[in-house]
Chain A
């Protein structure tokens, strides 16, 4: 079964607004990571949250993890046009060893 499914698939907001993206997964995990990918570029790691953590912050980013619901959310506050990108969650399941399983991503567009 596929891990890390993001919701929504696409999100369009105005600059200054907050953006929330969600990720659901199916099996138990060790960690969950969020990545950003700008068009034509590789993925950039944003935040790693461990299964025993509930919330983590990094600048304008806030990640929550609810292991009982097998879900995570990424909040970007005070969005900027430069935040326009695809955002992916990735999980490493307890039984998947070294493998990170990525979702299909959320395409975020921040309009100036």
Chain B
């Protein structure tokens, strides 16, 4: 139990569907992150939220839309995805956004048909 819970664990969707990934952390952290992990590629940072404010958007396509309603919850809204978006999406949190160990959830395995 890492203190970071992601749902769903697996998701299969068509390119025209709209779905959302959810992340919840029970660690009292102030910073939350979305990462994309594709086979044979380094982990790619997508978004960073610090105290509920988005502090970084790593040139992510607009078909990915993050939402952080409070410092414990993070969502990633998905729409009109492409086959190359199939990957493991990992959520992480840290005490604050600088120089701190990050705690990861077990990810959502996303497959785009």
Q: Which residues on A are within 8 Å of B, measured CB to CB?
A: 2, 4, 30-31, 33, 35, 40-45, 48, 88, 90, 92, 97-105
Contacts and interface: CB of A to CB of B under 8 A. Distances in A.
Interface in B76-113: 90, 92, 97-99, 101-107
A42 B106 contact: yes
Contacts of B50: 98
A42 B99 contact: no
Contacts of A2: 42
Interface string B32-61: 000000001111010010100001101000
Contacts of A97: 56, 97-98
Contact of B31 (A33, A44, A98, A101): A98
**When A and B form their complex, which 10 residue pairs have the shortest distance between CB atoms, in order from nearest?**
A42-B104, A98-B97, A102-B43, A45-B101, A43-B104, A42-B106, A102-B42, A104-B42, A41-B106, A42-B105
Interface of B: 2, 4, 6, 31, 40-43, 45, 48, 50, 55-56, 58, 90, 92, 97-99, 101-107
Contact of A98 (B6, B98, B106): B98
A99 B41 contact: no
Contacts of B40: 104
A92 B100 CA distance: 10
B99 A92 contact: yes
B16 to A, nearest CB: 28
7 contacts: A2-B42, A4-B42, A30-B99, A41-B107, A42-B2, A42-B92, A105-B42
Given A2-B42, A40-B106, A42-B90, 9 more contacts: A41-B106, A42-B92, A48-B101, A90-B43, A97-B97, A97-B98, A98-B48, A98-B50, A101-B42
